[in-house]
Amino acid sequence: MAKRDYYEVLGISKGASASEIKKAYRKKAIEFHPDKNPDDKEAEAKFKEAAEAYEVLSDADKKARYDQFGHQAFENGGGGFGGGGMNMDDIFSQFGDIFGGGFGGGFSGFGGGGGQRRVKGSNLRIRVKLTLEEIANGIEKKIKVKRKIQAPGTTYKTCSTCNGSGQVTRIANTILGRMQTSAPCNVCGGAGQTIDKKPNDADSQGLKVAEETVSIKIPAGVVDGMQLKVSGKGNEAPGNGVSGDLIVLIEEEAHDKLQREGDNLHYDLYVSYPDAVLGTTKEIDTVTGKVRIKVEAGVQSGKILRLRGKGIPSINGYGKGDLLVHVNVWTPKTLNKQQKEFFESMRNDEHFDPKPESSDKSFFEKVKDMFS
């Protein structure tokens, strides 16, 4: 799917000023915020798209490059959004700038409707190691996670200092006149609730650590270093707050036969001298099991056999990579007398004379082919 123009995403014209860009983004961020659109994938995508557009257009240098080169300015590692775009943490960390203070310290929300913020539990991070086979096929992992939950028996009551609003408003007389300022309530920490009763094993917020098995659906095609978010499986928040998220960091285990390069896989196949001369079939490992491949008689070392669709599925859901089998002809290092005599007698034989054909491309031509 083609990327939308950043100005179009924010609904502004190219001549928009910095404050217009900020205002437009603020509007989109509120409209598509995940707290307002729970489990709405389309809203989440639009939320991310707007954040990405703002990230570029709010930065004079990036904006200039975008205006000149479009999306190409940020491709090929040009300082853009390689490997799957901005994650939610990046987006939320951007908010301080947009919405003013008050989003730090565990708050992230527009909840309540009447301006009251709901406390959000902290995010948890775990690493999940995956084999290449698991990555190729996608997998549902059941992982034990230690997360804070509201301890059974804990009850909360409305904070009497802020009457549940989480905010304390003060009127101050200044030389500019009467000014109204508001700040998070320091009794409840902005939550609007305080602890009523809690059991002895709960912490000061009424929480305790519990082990829980979380099922994590990992789509096929994930990449080492990628982060997945499982909403609501981080630490619970006290009172009527919302749970944090579980951030899953993907780690790819090395495979002993296959090397990954994007969605393609590479396999080094060694064939003996007689097999190369006479042809053979070989069984090789793929991410979906073993397959037999035919090695033609007279195969040259360096030949690449392409098994279409035997690579890794694209994380975007568009097609699959290939498995590239690199043929290496193994030249014997030691020979017995009889073998030595045989090769000696073949030294001047015309069949052993190298006669490269146009189909036997040189190494450099093959490399060129692979990147074209």
- Minimum separation from the CB atom of position 42 to Zn ion (A): 36
Residue 251: both structure tokens together: 């780690």
Element housing 242 (H / E): none
- Residues numbered 159-188 forming contacts with Zn ion, rule: CB under 5 A: 159, 161-162, 185, 187-188
User: Rounded to the nearest whole angstrom, what is the least distance from the CB of residue 108 to Zn ion in the complex?
Assistant: 18
Compute the least distance from the CB of residue 195 to Zn ion, in Å.
12
In 211-236, which positions are buried (b, 16+ CB within 10 angstroms) versus exposed (e)?
Answer: eeebebebebbbeeebbbbbeebbbb
Task: Compare residues 221 and 239 and give the one whose CB is closer to Zn ion.
Answer: 239
Applying CB under 5 A, the site for Zn ion has a residue count of 6
Q: Is residue 47 packed enough to be buried (19+ CB in 10 Å), middle (13-18) or exposed (0-12)?
A: buried
Decide: is 130 part of the binding site for Zn ion (CB under 5 A). no
Cβ of 362: how many Cβ atoms within 10 Å?
10
User: For Zn ion, which is the closer residue by CB, 185 or 269?
Assistant: 185
- The label of the residue with tokens 């829980």 reads 212
DSSP state of 345: H
Q: Is 69 annotated as a binding residue?
A: no
> What is the pattern of x (binds Zn ion, CB under 5 A) and - over residues 76-115?
----------------------------------------
Residue nearer to Zn ion on the CB measure, 206 or 221: 206
Q: Is 188 annotated as a binding residue?
A: yes
Q: b/e map of 103-137 (b: 16 or more CB within 10 Å)?
A: beebbbbbbeeeebbbbbbebbebebebebbbbbe
DSSP class of residue 106? T
Q: Note whether 262 and 141 are within 8 A (CB).
A: no
Say whether 185 counts as a known binding-site residue: yes
User: What does the per-residue mask of binding to Zn ion show for 140-159, with x meaning CB under 5 A?
Assistant: -------------------x
Rounded to the nearest 10 degrees, what angle do helices 18-32 and 41-57 cross at?
Answer: 160
Residue (179 or 187) nearer to Zn ion, CB: 187
Closest approach of Cβ 109 to Zn ion, in Å?
16
247 is in an annotated binding site: no
Closer residue to Zn ion in complex, CB, 57/188: 188
Binding site for Zn ion (CB under 5 A): 159, 161-162, 185, 187-188
Q: Which residues are annotated as a binding site for Zn(2+)?
A: 159, 162, 185, 188
